[in-house]
Chains A and B, each alone.
Chain A
Amino acid sequence: QKEVEQNSGPLSVPEGAIASLNCTYSDRGSQSFFWYRQYSGKSPELIMFIYSNGDKEDGRFTAQLNKASQYVSLLIRDSQPSDSATYLCAVNEGDGQNFVFGPGTRLSVLP
């Protein structure tokens, strides 16, 4: 049984702060890791993917992966109210098939 865990939140941070979102997964065979942002009633929007240990930066977003600890995180720098959404961690195995999503973390950025 593959499991992906996230704190459901809500996580509240003030505008301009760094938001840190965490995700753990149970399947050691997992190869690819994705972060999606989902606004209420909308479809998940891909923010970042990472498949090598270490950090990957894209604008205000940094994904961090530690396969030994089975842990992946997303940092959002200079958080904006428009970042308020649910952030879904998704994990899939190397065969590139289905994702297992975590329950999502609700982020609220307070003006």
Chain B
Amino acid sequence: AAGVIQSPRHLIKEKRETATLKCYPIPRHDTVYWYQQGPGQDPQFLISFYEKMQSDKGSIPDRFSAQQFSDYHSELNMSSLELGDSALYFCASSLGKGLPDEQYFGPGTRLTVT
């Protein structure tokens, strides 16, 4: 079965650079979630989109922005990168509003900021 696709899988950037992470949800899924997971930490919710509109916002820094496109893929744009942004970034997708809202996670993008 098709899963969530994320690219790139690994990314190395320097401080103050920008990065763009991409997420392709499971076909027919209309909701995308972004999570950040630091070493030894649980995933922290950043932002979500439902039907191309922002649906919820978590602990996303102002330096980050995201959007969902007409084909439901999503991009997380990160600017003025800091060392503390080094983490695993997961995208998850689901079928949208309704119970239960099972989220399926992609393999993640490991971002290293040097």
B101, A96: Cβ atoms under 8 Å?
yes
A69 CB within 8 Å of chain B: no
B41 / chain A contacts, CB cutoff of 8 Å: 103
Chain B 22-61 residues near chain A, CB threshold 8 A: 31, 33, 41-45, 48, 55-56, 58
A101, B42: Cβ atoms under 8 Å?
yes
Nearest Cβ on chain B to A10's Cβ, whole angstroms? 13
Interface size on A, residues (CB 8 A): 27
Q: Which listed residue, A46, A100, A103, touches B103 by the CB 8 Å rule?
A: A46
A98, B105: Cβ atoms under 8 Å?
no
B43, A88: Cβ atoms under 8 Å?
yes
Nearest Cβ on chain A to B59's Cβ, whole angstroms? 10
Interface size on B, residues (CB 8 A): 27
A34 CB within 8 Å of chain B: yes
Chain B 43-94 residues near chain A, CB threshold 8 A: 43-45, 48, 55-56, 58, 88, 90, 94
A42 / chain B contacts, CB cutoff of 8 Å: 107-108
Q: Which listed residue, B44, B98, B101, B105, touches A45 by the CB 8 Å rule?
A: B105
Nearest Cβ on chain B to A83's Cβ, whole angstroms? 19
Q: Which listed residue, A36, A96, A98, touches B58 by the CB 8 Å rule?
A: A98
Please measure, in the bound complex, the distance between the C-alpha atom of A46 and the C-alpha atom of B103, giving whole angstroms: 8
Please measure, in the bound complex, the distance between the C-alpha atom of A49 and the C-alpha atom of B103, giving whole angstroms: 10
B42, A103: Cβ atoms under 8 Å?
yes
A50 / chain B contacts, CB cutoff of 8 Å: 100
Please measure, in the bound complex, the distance between the C-alpha atom of A49 and the C-alpha atom of B99, giving whole angstroms: 10
A62 CB within 8 Å of chain B: no
Q: Which listed residue, A32, A43, A97, touches B56 by the CB 8 Å rule?
A: A97
Give B34's nearest chain A residue, CB to CB: A98
Q: Which listed residue, B45, B88, B104, B106, touches A100 by the CB 8 Å rule?
A: B45
**Interface residues, chain B, with chain A CB atoms under 8 Å away:** 31, 33, 41-45, 48, 55-56, 58, 88, 90, 94, 96-108
